Amino acid sequence: MSLTLLQSNENPKNDTDTLDLLYYIRVIQRFKWRILSLAFIITLLTSVVVFSLTPKYSASATLLIQAEQANVVSIEEVYGVDSGRKEYFFTQFEILKSRQIAQRVVDRLNLLKHPEFDADQQPKKFNLINEIKALLPFLPQKSFNISEEETLNRKNRLIVADFVSRLTITPIIKTQLVVISFISESPKLSADVVNTLADVYIESHLESKLMMTEKASSWLNERLSGLKNKLDISEDILQAYQNKEQLVDIDGIKSIEATELQELNRQLSVAKQRLKQSENIYNLIQEKNNDVTSLIALPEVLNHRLIQNVNEALQRAKTKKSELQGVYGPKHPIMIAAESELGSVNENLGNQVKLLVSGISNEYQSAKANEISLVKAVKAKGQRFRELSTLDTKQKELKREVESNQQLYNAFFNRLKETKEVGEFQSANARLIDPAQPPLIPAKPRKKLIIGLVLVASIVLGVLLAFLFEVLNDGIRSVEDVETKLKQRMLGLLPLQNLKRSQKLPLRHFYDTKEHAFGESIRTIRTSLLLMNIEHEAKVISITSSIPSEGKSTISTNLSFALAQIEKVLLIDADMRRPSIAKNFEYPNYQAGLSNILSGTHSLEECTIHDEDSGIDIITAGTLPPNPQELLASAAFSELLNTVKGKYDRIIIDTAPTQAVSDAVLVSKQSDSVIYIVKADSTREKVIISGLSRLMEVGARIDGIVLNRVDLKQAAKYGEYTGYYDQYGYNSQVDASAEPTVQVNVENKKVDKSVENS
């Protein structure tokens, strides 16, 4: 079976969701027994607690809260409650849960002395704080002087609070029904409490209505008495005013006075019109100075009927005279008679005009006097009407006061009667539809449900803790971690060996045929190292780690054993602070080594030891020097390496950890290759990266990472190394007699060696 090195870091699966799912599955698989153990312990403890709890029973009753109150008369204003609104039902629900109702139920059922509520009758619970205080008497103790009444009151309040906490009021949506539930250790008590609570609520409502009715009646009586006195006073004032002013039918009198005043105003208007006309004629007559001819020319005179008659007679006389003049002479008796008749008519006309003018003057004076008289009459009548209006206004004001008091008195009187009627008949606002019965099955605890939920919750908790531990654990566990976190290639891994705590790995464990997986893993590291350096001369190989106890000395020794099968190998212990090679090979502490060579006290031949079993040469750390860094940085160390390069094919140097001291950095400058050892799932990622960074800063060639102490059986379950260790047969049982040949070209030479391989 030929060996190959994993060259590509690409994952054949590109589906991120699938990779994430596999990651979660692996984490759960890794911690599954811990998760199940945690779930089992928590569920077991919960079961013990649940089965030790006292069962509690819940009784329920259905109560109907009526929206319409059956009152004899409608006096909702007295109570101030609108039963048709949602707020009314919410208010009733809160009343059912009120402390007042709870207190009455507690008193009626005498729960103060019931063993379930009375703390004095219950077994005392363990109180850690009180016990500690009792053991430490020097601590200040609080003491209160509480009277017996205060103690009883406090106890009562605690019981009522406990009662309310057990009570549940649940309205049924879109109905007027409400479900009352109570939890108790006694089935009978739970049913009695619910039924008693419903009765107390109904009685409380009736009592509150009765109390409010009595308060309303008392208030109405007081107000009614005051209103009656106020009404009597207003009536007396009205009567006194009417007697004083002698008012009988003021409305009729006002009507007559108004009619007379209207008539006087009409007459005054006519008189003023006549006076104006007479005044105009009178003024014209005065202007003519009683000249008859001028007066006759006035239209008012000329158009007078009497003047017109005289003018007609005058015209006839003139016509007659004119006719007779043509027949008779001036002295003819007929002419004399006609002349006499004409003069008589003219004289009559003048007299009539004077008489008319005198009449017009008299008429003017009469109209003027009439107007003055009517003005006085209108003023007098208006004054009287105003007086009557004032009296009427005052009277109406007093009447309105009386009517207002009368209406208010009547309203309160009617309300008082309504209130008395309501007080005589009270209807309940609720009734019990479905009374509570003692329950047969306990409501709490629901053991199966609790245990099931705890089991599920504990599993979920275990999974969460597993992922938390996974996140917090930043160790290197797999090939993927080496490639993604450390950005390095992986040379190989060493499986975890089943050893006791005090037992150490045998020095020549590599040659144990029973531990085939361990030997094969060392050979895999050897092969990977050689294949990686085919084109590169890597004689000096330094092996280091981040911190002590990661197995660098073990790997240095066993890698030397593996390389010694095909090459001449020198193993140097350069950890001159905590050397382990000499101790592992059971050499004495005084064995001269590297420090002696670098110090010049011993020669290379004196410090080189040959191991017959493995065929390797060893240079131990030697005497512990006070200045190991100065020795490693000296030219003597470089000269030593140049010397041994000519004698050996490979020089394996076991150096100190990178995080402890800088020895490994100094050695890496003289090395052709560096192998970095990491203890699987132990050393923190940041520590490893820090050590690698220190090496890369000086230009060291890091050929790869070796994971030590890998639990292959556990890893196989989670698939963390699938595709890596299977490729090299870490899990396979093979025939040890099979010896395929590995050919490696080193320094342009062909080296053939049979190597046991699976």
What are the start-end ranges of the E strands in 580-656?
A: 609-610, 617-619, 650-654
What count of Cα atoms within 13 Å lies in the side-chain half-sphere of residue 743?
Answer: 3
Rounded to whole angstroms, how far apart are CA atoms 360 and 377?
A: 25
Q: Is 124 exposed, middle or buried (0-12, 13-18, 19+ CB in 10 A)?
A: exposed
Q: Is the dihedral of CA 628, 634, 638, 644 positive or negative?
A: negative
Of 60, 66, 95, residue with least CA distance to 176: 66
Contacts of 688 (CB under 8 A, 6+ apart): 476, 486, 546, 676, 678
Highest mean pLDDT among 357-366, 540-549, 654-663: 540-549
Predicted model pTM: 0.50
Place of tokens 């009683």: 290
Give residue 277's pLDDT: 64
Give residue 133's pLDDT: 67
- Whether the pLDDT of residue 248 is over 70: the answer is no
DSSP state of 444: B
Mean pLDDT over each residue of the chain, to the nearest integer:
77
Start-to-end Cα distance in the chain: 7
The string over 567-595, giving b where at least 16 C-beta atoms fall within 10 Å of a residue's C-beta and e elsewhere, is bebbbbbbbbbebbbbebbeeeeebbbbb
Asked whether 114 and 120 are in contact (CB, 8 A), the reply is no
Rounded to whole angstroms, how far apart are CA atoms 1 and 432?
A: 90
Residue 736, SS3?
A: coil
User: pLDDT tens digits for 399-421?
Assistant: 788 888 788 778 777 776 666 66
Under CATH, to which class is 474-499+510-754 assigned?
alpha beta
Asked whether 204 and 234 are in contact (CB, 8 A), the reply is no
- Show me where the domains of the chain are located: 54-203, 250-424, 474-499+510-754
User: Residue 580 corresponds to which tokens in the numbers above?
Assistant: 């382990």
Asked whether 565 and 519 are in contact (CB, 8 A), the reply is no
Rounded to whole angstroms, how far apart are CA atoms 183 and 193?
A: 9
Asked whether 696 and 725 are in contact (CB, 8 A), the reply is no
Rounded to whole angstroms, how far apart are CA atoms 596 and 607?
A: 8
Strands 609-610 and 430-434 come out as unpaired
718: left (phi over 0), alpha (psi -120 to 50) or beta: alpha
Q: Amino acid identity of 649? A: D
Q: Which of 410-414, 518-522, 605-609 has the lowest mean pLDDT?
A: 410-414
User: pLDDT tens digits for 674-694?
Assistant: 999 999 888 888 888 899 999
User: pLDDT tens digits for 84-124?
Assistant: 577 888 888 888 888 888 899 988 888 888 888 877 766 66
Q: Which of 114-123, 630-639, 690-699, 715-724 has the lowest mean pLDDT?
A: 715-724
CATH code linked to domain 250-424: 1.10.287
Contacts of 17 (CB under 8 A, 6+ apart): none
Give the residues across from 38 on adjacent strands.
none
As a whole number, mean pLDDT of residues 231-242 equals 76
DSSP state of 684: B
Of 658, 707, 654, 709, residue with least CA distance to 678: 707
Highest mean pLDDT among 88-102, 227-241, 302-316, 552-566: 552-566
User: pLDDT tens digits for 379-399?
Assistant: 877 777 777 777 777 777 777
Asked whether 490 and 723 are in contact (CB, 8 A), the reply is no
Q: What are phi and psi of 569, to 5 degrees?
A: -125, 140
Asked whether 598 and 637 are in contact (CB, 8 A), the reply is yes
Asked whether 722 and 731 are in contact (CB, 8 A), the reply is no
Q: Which of 520-524, 593-597, 730-734 has the lowest mean pLDDT?
A: 730-734
Residue 673, SS3?
A: strand
Of 550, 525, 509, residue with least CA distance to 650: 525
As a whole number, mean pLDDT of residues 340-349 equals 70
As a whole number, mean pLDDT of residues 221-231 equals 76
Rounded to whole angstroms, how far apart are CA atoms 656 and 294?
A: 166
Q: Amino acid identity of 440? A: L
